[in-house]
């Protein structure tokens, strides 16, 4: 009886959703019947607008005429209530009057920029990330745009690859949770709502594993790694209801993802029963010719549509070729119909057939963009994204009654770089630099000195002398170093990921003054800065934090926000260690410690351990882990174990800790990683407070793909580890899974 009402309610909801879906399918049937083959093919064609191009534009067709002729289903890089309305009006002059979908790369905010996705991932705060995507969706939708090409859910284990900035880092469990949260955030209460945009899970698949970290390079990986490490975040995006997928530029084991039927048909559309549509990446259908996989664009079009790529972004392969391929009986018209159905389905769900201009509302746009509420959300997300790497002798937080603070470094007054790569719709007056953030916080009570010292990529040290003189006058020096916004991002692969130019020499020169130094590293990827890490007492990794960057940094520097970020990606000691990640597979000759290298899986010249490990990050307070208890030490296949422990805030400040649960399968039919993150909780504790934390372990958490690539768990012994970082386990205990 207790469950009767909710169940009835749930059933009513799903019946009404099913009825709604049926209605839409009928409408699609009726539209499809009226369309010529050319018009159908038009729906699968997408051009870029004239600005914000993010790839090479192949030619310059008469775009508006093509829209009028029904040759376009979607455009990217058209934005703004007015502009989208004007272009949509042209689509309404076409014979079928099928509205266009407008898509845009809203990767971390639209007008208000949020921290780059990798930075947000450092918050381990799923609700906050969902909210960040929600705000971005509201601004995007209010600007007439229906679709964001986000989230990028590619697992990335190689910081040479510039696009690590765009994802959630190296871990599959964390990455899957974040993928789910971001899709939910973008799509809100569902397509059709005026504050929801279509999400796009990209890049399907394995794009993040480009050989040598070189963007667009080939990917070669085992099926095990594909299924266990790279695919789960995509599955999470499907489970969250992601409206669309984007395929990827790379080849996977010799087959371009764009022409890969195993990925797009067998896995996505058949096994995962995906009903959304797949857009190609920019020009990726045509690039199958450059890959040497298709003889020409005609064959590329044939391979792509057969493999399940529904929409052609900017390669101009579908429009000129598909009709002939159908006439020549090389492509069954049913394949075209299926792709068109998928596109029309989304147009119906968005409500565009009822009102093609419903998102293009200038009054709403005016109200929504850059609203105080949106900025507040960005500030909060920025605070949560900062990772405190080092704080010797409690240099931080800084006292608010300091007389003079010097801001030194090429990023100290930078506004532009704060937005980070992939910020398309930002405006100049929207960004708060570190210097401005400190001014906002301190007013006139503290004198703020400033010297640039050098440019970001400088080889010249001529500015050092002045910077040293300025430093000498200050009580504390806050240094702002790192990358310019275009140093991490698409096509921004690097072999040298040390802090660029002479910036680390500048840090050495300032540190030599003997004054207390705090270094803030602002970047889009894990950088290497060993001297700084070993010698400077206080270091914060701030990434690129978006519109409110300076205010967030000031709040953390002065303790108005206690940092709680944890690294979502391993920081190497040297490029030679890459790829280095925490969940590597066991070896027969493990290095027992950093010195024991003889005939061990180790380096002669460097330890295996990273500089900063996955999951690492400090707080102004300290936490103690104690009293680990398991409800049982034997787990039945259909049972669960409750794991509990006490987490205590043992320091002087209220603060949050991300308690991390790792598991190791000690013996299995396929060699398992040394540890894998399988759960976490972000817990707020007042100074002195303790809380009992519980986790549940069941068979699902112990499962993996066996030799036949079947998902399941095997009986045997497991190690449970609970800690504050992947390399700082505080509690551990063994248990067994039994038949």
The catalytic site residues sit at: 281
Site string for ligand BGC, 226-265 (x = CB under 6 A): ----------------------------------------
Radius of gyration of the chain (CA): 26
Contact 494, 160 (CB under 8 A): yes
Considering beta carbons, is residue 282 or 571 the nearer one to ligand BGC? 282
For ligand BGC, which residue of 49, 55, 351, 716 counts as binding (CB under 6 A)? 55
**What is the spatial distance between Cα 205 and Cα 227, in angstroms, rounded to a whole number?**
10
Helix axes 549-557, 372-385, angle to 10 degrees: 50
Of the candidates 91, 87, 66, 67, the residue with the CA atom closest to the CA atom of residue 77: 87
* 490 or 548: CB nearest ligand BGC: 490
Tell which positions 264-323 bind ligand BGC, by CB under 6 A. 281-282
Please, which residue, 202 or 291, has the CB nearer to ligand BGC?
202
Rounded to a whole number of angstroms, the minimum distance from the CB of residue 202 to ligand BGC is: 6
The residue among 55 and 537 lying less far from ligand BGC, judged by its C-beta, is: 55
Grouping H, G, I as helix, E, B as strand and the rest as coil, residue 174 is helix
For 357-407, give the DSSP string: TTT--HHHHHHHTT-HHHHHHHHHHHHHH-EEEEEGGG--SPPTT-SEEEE
Map the footprint of ligand BGC across residues 161-180, applying CB under 6 A: none
- For residue 530, the SS3 value is helix
What is the total residue count of the chain? 739
**Three-state secondary structure call for residue 242:** coil
Q: What is the DSSP string of 654-697?
A: -EEEEEEEEEEESS-SS--BS-EEEEEEEEEE-TT-EEEEEEEE
Q: Is 58 in the site for ligand BGC (CB under 6 A)?
A: no
Residue in 21, 27, 32, 54 binding ligand BGC, rule: CB under 6 A: 54
Helix (H) or strand (E) holding 550: helix 549-557
Q: How near is the Cβ of 539 to ligand BGC at its closest, in Å?
A: 31
Closer residue to ligand BGC, CB minimum distance, 162 or 651: 162
Q: Which of residues 609-628 bind ligand BGC (CB under 6 A)?
A: none
Nearer to ligand BGC, 54 or 131 (CB): 54
Distances (CA, A) of 60 to 34, 49, 65, 85, 320: 30, 10, 12, 22, 15
Min. distance of Cβ 662 from ligand BGC in angstroms? 32
- Report if residue 680 touches ligand BGC, rule: CB under 6 A: no
State the minimum distance, in angstroms, from the CB of residue 313 to ligand BGC: 7
Q: Which H or E run contains 705?
A: strand 704-705
Considering only residues 73 through 92, tell me which ones interact with ligand BGC, judged by CB under 6 A.
76
Tokens 């916080």 found at: 441
| Site residues (CB under 6 A) for ligand BGC, limited to 178-217 | 202
Query: 270 phi and psi, to 5 degrees?
Result: -90, -60
Nearer to ligand BGC, 44 or 520 (CB): 44
C-alpha distances in Å from residue 124, one per residue of 24, 118, 346, 616 = 38, 11, 31, 12
Least Å from the CB of residue 267 to ligand BGC:
20
CB atoms within 10 A of CB 250: 28
Q: How far is the CB of 106 from ligand BGC (least distance, A)?
A: 10
Cβ proximity to ligand BGC, 228 vs 490, nearer residue: 490
The residue from 114, 149, 274, 704 that contacts ligand BGC (CB under 6 A) is 149
Q: Is 490 in the site for ligand BGC (CB under 6 A)?
A: yes
Count of residues that interact with ligand BGC, criterion CB under 6 A:
9
Walk across the sheet containing 277-279 and list its strands: 200-204, 244-247, 277-279
The alpha carbon dihedral of 467, 468, 472, 475 has a sign of positive
Q: What share of the chain is helix, strand, coil (3-state, %, to 5)?
A: 35, 20, 45
- Pure H helices in 400-497: 434-442, 464-473
Work out which of 39, 83, 105, 383 binds ligand BGC, going by CB under 6 A.
105
202 or 341, CB closer to ligand BGC?
202
CB of 54 to ligand BGC, least distance (A): 3
Lookup: tokens for 460: 């010249």
Question: Whole-number minimum distance, CB 203 to ligand BGC, in Å?
Answer: 6
CB of 246 to ligand BGC, least distance (A): 6
* Contacting residues toward ligand BGC, per CB under 6 A: 54-55, 76, 105, 149, 202, 281-282, 490
């Amino acid at each position: 009886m207790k469950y009767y009402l909710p169940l009835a309610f749930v059933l009513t909801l799903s019946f009404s959703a099913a009825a709604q879906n049926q209605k839409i399918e009928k409408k699609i049937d009726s539209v499809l019947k009226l369309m010529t083959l050319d018009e159908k093919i038009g729906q699968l064609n997408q051009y870029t607008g004239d600005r914000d191009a993010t790839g090479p534009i192949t030619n310059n067709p008469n775009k508006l005429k093509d829209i009028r002729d029904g040759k376009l289903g979607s455009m990217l890089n058209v934005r703004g209530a007015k502009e989208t309305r004007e272009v949509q009006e042209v689509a309404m002059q076409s014979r079928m009057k099928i509205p266009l979908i407008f898509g845009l790369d809203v990767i971390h905010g639209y007008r208000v920029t949020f921290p780059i996705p990798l930075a947000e991932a450092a918050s381990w705060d799923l609700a906050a990330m969902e909210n960040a995507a929600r705000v971005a969706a509201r601004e995007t939708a209010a600007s007439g745009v229906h679709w964001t090409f986000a989230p990028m859910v590619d697992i990335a284990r190689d910081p040479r690859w510039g696009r690590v900035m765009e994802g959630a880092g190296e871990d599959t469990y964390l990455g899957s949770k974040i993928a789910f949260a971001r899709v939910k955030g973008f799509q809100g209460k569902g397509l059709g709502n005026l504050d929801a945009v279509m999400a796009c899970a990209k890049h399907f698949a394995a794009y993040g594993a480009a050989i040598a970290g070189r963007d667009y390079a080939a990917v070669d990986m085992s099926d095990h790694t594909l299924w266990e490490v790279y695919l789960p975040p995509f599955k999470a995006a499907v489970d969250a209801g992601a409206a669309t997928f984007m395929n990827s530029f790379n080849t996977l084991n010799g087959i371009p993802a764009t022409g890969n039927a195993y990925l797009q048909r067998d896995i996505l559309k058949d096994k995962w029963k995906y009903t959304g549509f797949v857009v190609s990446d920019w020009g990726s259908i045509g690039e199958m010719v450059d890959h040497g996989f298709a003889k020409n664009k005609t064959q590329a079009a044939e391979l792509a549509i057969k493999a399940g790529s529904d929409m052609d972004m900017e390669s101009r392969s579908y429009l000129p070729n598909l009709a002939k391929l159908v006439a020549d009986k090389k492509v069954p018209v049913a394949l075209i119909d299926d792709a068109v159905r998928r596109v029309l389905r989304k147009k119906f769900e968005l409500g565009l057939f009822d009102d093609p201009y419903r998102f293009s509302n200038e009054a709403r746009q005016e109200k929504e963009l850059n609203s105080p509420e949106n900025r507040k959300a960005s500030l909060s997300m920025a605070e949560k994204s900062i990772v405190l790497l080092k704080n010797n002798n409690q240099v931080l937080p800084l006292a608010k009654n300091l007389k003079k603070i010097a801001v030194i470094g090429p990023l100290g007054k930078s506004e532009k770089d704060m937005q980070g790569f992939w910020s398309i719709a930002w405006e100049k007056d929207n960004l708060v630099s570190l210097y401005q953030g400190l001014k906002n916080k301190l007013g006139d009570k503290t004198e703020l000195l400033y010297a640039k010292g050098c440019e970001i990529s400088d080889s010249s040290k001529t500015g050092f002398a002045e910077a040293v003189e300025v430093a000498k006058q200050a009580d504390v020096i806050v240094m702002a170093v790192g990358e310019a916004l275009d140093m991490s991002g698409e096509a921004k692969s690097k072999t040298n990921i040390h802090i660029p130019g002479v910036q680390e020499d500048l840090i050495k020169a300032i540190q030599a003054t003997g004054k207390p130094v705090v270094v803030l590293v602002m970047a889009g990827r894990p950088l290497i800065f060993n001297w700084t890490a070993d010698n400077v007492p206080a270091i914060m990794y701030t990434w690129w934090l978006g519109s409110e960057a300076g205010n967030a940094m000031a709040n953390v520097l002065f303790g108005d926000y206690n940092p709680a970020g944890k690294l979502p990606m391993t920081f190497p000691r040297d490029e030679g260690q890459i790829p280095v990640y925490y969940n590597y597979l066991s070896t027969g000759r493990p290095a027992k410690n950093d010195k024991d290298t003889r005939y061990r899986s180790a380096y002669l010249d460097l330890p295996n351990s990273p500089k900063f490990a996955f999951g690492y990050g400090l707080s102004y307070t300290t936490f103690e882990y104690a009293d680990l208890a398991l409800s049982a030490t034997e787990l039945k296949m259909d049972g669960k174990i409750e794991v509990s422990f006490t987490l205590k805030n043992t320091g002087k400040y209220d603060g949050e800790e991300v308690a991390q649960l790792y598991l190791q399968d000690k013996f299995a039919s396929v060699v398992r990683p040394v540890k894998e993150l399988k759960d976490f909780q972000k817990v707020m504790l007042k100074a002195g407070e303790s809380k009992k934390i519980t986790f549940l372990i069941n068979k699902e958490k112990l499962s993996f793909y066996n030799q036949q690539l079947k998902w399941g768990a095997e009986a045997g012994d497991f190690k449970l580890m609970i800690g504050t970082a992947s390399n700082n386990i505080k509690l551990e205990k063994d248990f067994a899974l039994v038949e």
